[in-house]
Structure 1
Amino acid sequence: MLIGSPIPTSRSEHERLTKFKALAVLSSDAISSVAYATEAILATLIVAGSINLGLTLPISFAIVLLLAIVALSYRQTIPAYPNGGGSYIVAKDNLGTLPGLVAAASLMIDYVLTVSVSVSAGVQALATLFPALSSTFTIVSIDVALVLFIMLVNLRGVRESGSIFAIPTYIFIGSALLLIIVGALKSFFIQHNPVIGHFQYVATTEPLSIFLILRSFAAGCAAMTGTEAISNGIPAFKKPEARNAATTLTWMAVILGTLFIGTTVLAMSYHIEANPAGNPTVIGQIAQQVFTG
């Protein structure tokens, strides 16, 4: 009743995804990280004092450069592995079984963390909009319910999950683009009035070092989580599978890079800082400044 009857192999081709739906299914984990990647960098750099928060932008550009390199690498992998070219099979074929297993184990941990962090970030965003939801019990309860819902939708099948996930994914992309466009217009062409004209002073608790910068870079690389999902899911695409997968991967990389850099630029322009309590979120503070500030 919940997950439906098994699909015969003869019908499997009819369950495959168009590029439009595949972007929603296979890129949602990567694109959703826009909601918290900039915040992760800010939260890490703040220990070196507010004076160093300006490093967030160059760190973000470095991450986008890495994203471009990884996306290009996976584009090369797609035609070479038309049945799915994820990290496991590529590492196993080229480096051996042990490196392949290490890659597979890393991906398992990565996907678990992606689901938990992305869902938590989404609920924190709701709590920013509706403060009545900000209690720990309420947030955790909604988190668990959403994880169970996502699990059931995916168990129903790829095409069904594509139809369901397409709506929130494209609403998020559209909302984020609207936020960036309006925020940029107000920031660079219309005089805006942020709450503060500069970052609030925060005392240094740890000196700025190359290790702290690298830690901030690593935290911001949450923006790249799930980049390999499209390369791994080539068989889920309609024919021609490899070409459609490569096109979708390019769309994903461009959208992700644009939203990530746009969010970071607005955070710098509006002097947004990460809240240690996690609420309101950085993207929530940006939205408040852009649309009501």
Structure 2
Amino acid sequence: MYTIVSITVSSNSEEKAKEAINKAFNEMDRLARLLNFYSEDSEISMINRNAGNKPVKVSPETLEIIDKAIYTSQNTEGAFDITVGPVVKLWDFKNKAMPDEKLIKAKLKLVGYKNIVVDKEKSMIFLKTKGSQIDLGGIIKGYAADKAVDVLRKNGIQSGIVAIAGDIKVFGKKPDGGFWNIGIQNPRQKSDRDEIIATIGLSDTGISTSGDYERFFIKDGKRYHHLLNPKTGYPAYGCQSATVITKEAALTDAFATGIFILGPQKGMDALKRLGFDGVIIDKDGKIYVTEGIKKNLKWSN
């Protein structure tokens, strides 16, 4: 998944722990091969190659993750959209290059989650528009974390953390009976070290943060980052970061992006409606917190 993955478990047997961790990594490798946008023989690439032509029969995992992605799109007014890839590819954050506006407008015609047709009975996926593409980069890390935890539990591990970049799934309690403490990063930190603005104790839940500080460049005093609005093809500017907390890491992963793009007001409304918890930091640094976690957050100095 082109990022750092770490698994931490609590066990009374080192041998048992290592065996379970290896099986969890193997499961993530399997999922990555199945769902990889960049691999020619993945099911996602097969769907993309057949866009506008014919449906593709897929595995239960591919069907499940795409279904979760569409659910997120439906509940974020399309702010999260796994078909935004053709526009994302136009931006070069490494070389600080902005795409031509005409190119963006042309590629936007290929974007739209409603172009995805899911046939659950036949386990088929079809992209209606030729040239459209599915890229699961915004949900695959959380989904893989959920599945890794399932494998760990099946192999006798009762507690631990799976962290795939900024997408984290915790389960059980620490050996001392306490919650796992997860930090929320300061989106405007002043040093190279990770500055934490708050921590929260969690168990049996997922947490993900999307921020404008992850991949960006500054040009003419303006920040251009990778969290693009699927309707405009340009970065969304309502937030500095959005953190989402709920049971499934697949949903925290996808909704963190969608909530960020929606902006603070609509984002908070969506969290409340869905029964999720979260922390949103708007473009001016104002912090919004859902009622369910206000008492549990510990703020840094």
Larger Rg: 1
What is the TM-score when the length of structure 1 is the normalising length? 0.25
Higher share of residues assigned strand: 2
Q: Which has the higher contact order (CA 8 A, sep 6+)?
A: 1
What is the TM-score when the length of structure 2 is the normalising length? 0.25
Higher share of residues assigned helix: 1
